[in-house]
Amino acid sequence: MLIHADPLTRLVDTIFQRRGCPADEADRIAGFLVAANLAGHDSHGVIRVPRYVQYIDDGKITPGGDIDVVTRSESFVLVDGCFGFGQTVGPKAARLGMDMARDNGVGVVALRNAGHLGRIGDYPLRAAAEGLVSVHFVNVAGSCLVAPFGGIDRRFSTAPFAVGIPSEDGPPIILDFATSVVAEGKALVAYNGGKPLPDDSLVGPDGEISGDPLLLYGADASGGAPNPRNGPGALRAMGDHKGSGLALMCELLAGAFTGSGCAGPEVRQVANGMLSFYLSVGAFDDGHGVGAMVRDYVDFVKASRPTEPGGEVLVPGEPERRREAERRRDGIPLSDAAWAAILETARGVGLDQAEIDSIVGANN
């Protein structure tokens, strides 16, 4: 099915308000999730709604949470997210870093124990809009899904990495990816009947390479939410030894350095750690014109002749902007299973069909 961003945002917002989130938090959760769908990252979009509500039901996430500043100086801060919603504690922590960068040229933020932060690319996008370069190393404590290069057994989370660079008179360059071949959410999308996975995404218990999401979730979800702990296999680290090395750095910097904890076999609360560096372009630019150099160099890169006739060289951030323009116009595609799970969650928090219809609207 296709649904437009506004009615989908209203429905998700209402679900979280009904489940005990303050209105501003419910707005933010809905805004971040739908923005991920608009950007084409369905893995980090509204498909997460049932799982987030389950986190509240299980007492794993506190609605209306706040950050706790553990230690700080003029240019760095260590922040505990106290298992609040990532969409609340993440932006609060980022605000501290961006303000430090504006005032001192640089702001470093070590965030621990954040609820799921969603699409990390939102952070460099927001920073770039304020004239800041940013670099983000992220891990997921309590989630051990990815086999290292040369290994079968799970050792890493999907540990995403993101960088954003503002350009002059043009959109920012936003690189944002999981260090696994695919993000876990993309496996969830495939498990739910959406886009299939590349056939080198997973490794089975005997070392066989596969694209079968059951290797992550197991064959029997027993009617409950699919659990990526249950499968006999693992996701694979991207980019052979290089991607596997980057995943290790994300675990060490976002997990060990922040104190959030690295991926491991113990069953503990799932939480994102994130080490972010914010740099003010204005503070570093001594007149050499960073923005113009970025713009000119990006033009040079894009002018590389395409390998395929009619092809085009894109830079990071471009596919998401194009997808957003399409989806704002045509609507966001959701698989039947994902939509059914959202409706079931809506009913579970007390919305009846008439309310759902009035929120979503006949033509949405």
Name the residues that contact ligand NAD, by CB under 6 A.
41, 43-44, 116-121, 138, 140, 158, 160, 162, 174-178, 182-183, 186, 272, 314-317, 319-320
Q: For the chain, how far is it from start to end, CA to CA, in angstroms?
A: 11
H helical segments located in the chain: 5-18, 23-38, 49-57, 86-104, 122-129, 184-191, 214-217, 240-250, 281-284, 290-302, 318-330, 336-348, 353-360
Minimal distance, residue 177 CB to ligand NAD, in Å: 4
Task: Name the pairing type of β-strands 68-72 and 76-80.
Answer: antiparallel
The residue (of 17 and 180) whose beta carbon lies closer to ligand NAD is 180
User: What is the Cα–Cα distance from 173 to 165, expressed in whole angstroms?
Assistant: 5
Q: At its nearest, how many Å lie between ligand NAD and the CB of residue 260?
A: 11
Q: Please, what is the minimum distance in Å from the beta carbon of residue 282 to ligand NAD? A: 25
Q: Which is nearer to ligand NAD, 95 or 323 (CB)?
A: 323
Is the separation of the CB atoms in 109 and 94 below 8 Å?
yes
Rounded (to 5) percent helix, strand, coil in the chain: 40, 20, 40
Gap between the Cα atoms of 86 and 219, Å rounded: 30
Sign of the C-alpha dihedral computed for residues 18, 21, 27 and 28 taken in this order:
negative
Contact at 8 Å (CB) between 333 and 2? yes
Give the residue with the Cβ less far from ligand NAD, 78 or 141.
Answer: 141
Minimum CB distance to ligand NAD smaller for 20 or for 239? 239
Q: Cβ closer to ligand NAD: 317 or 360?
A: 317
Residue 124 beta carbon to ligand NAD: minimum distance, rounded to whole angstroms: 9
**Nearest approach, Cβ of residue 203 and ligand NAD (Å):** 17
Cβ distance to ligand NAD smaller for residue 15 or 140: 140
Smallest distance from ligand NAD to CB 181, Å? 8
Q: Which is nearer to ligand NAD, 162 or 298 (CB)?
A: 162
Are the CB atoms for 277 and 134 separated by under 8 Å? yes
Q: What is the DSSP letter of 239?
A: S
CA distance linking residue 28 with residue 64, whole number of Å: 11
Q: Decide whether 225 or 314 has the Cβ nearer to ligand NAD.
A: 314
Cα angle, residue 311 at apex, residues 331 and 182 outer, rounded to 5°: 60
Tokens of 239: 């980019």
Using the minimum distance from each CB to ligand NAD, give the nearer residue, 112 or 186.
Answer: 186
Phi, psi of 215 (to 5 degrees): -65, -25
Burial of 303 (0-12, 13-18, 19+ CB in 10 A): exposed
Taking the complex as a whole, how short is the minimal distance between the CB of residue 233 and ligand NAD, in angstroms?
18
User: At its nearest, how many Å lie between ligand NAD and the CB of residue 136?
Assistant: 9
Helix-then-strand count for the chain, H and E:
13, 13
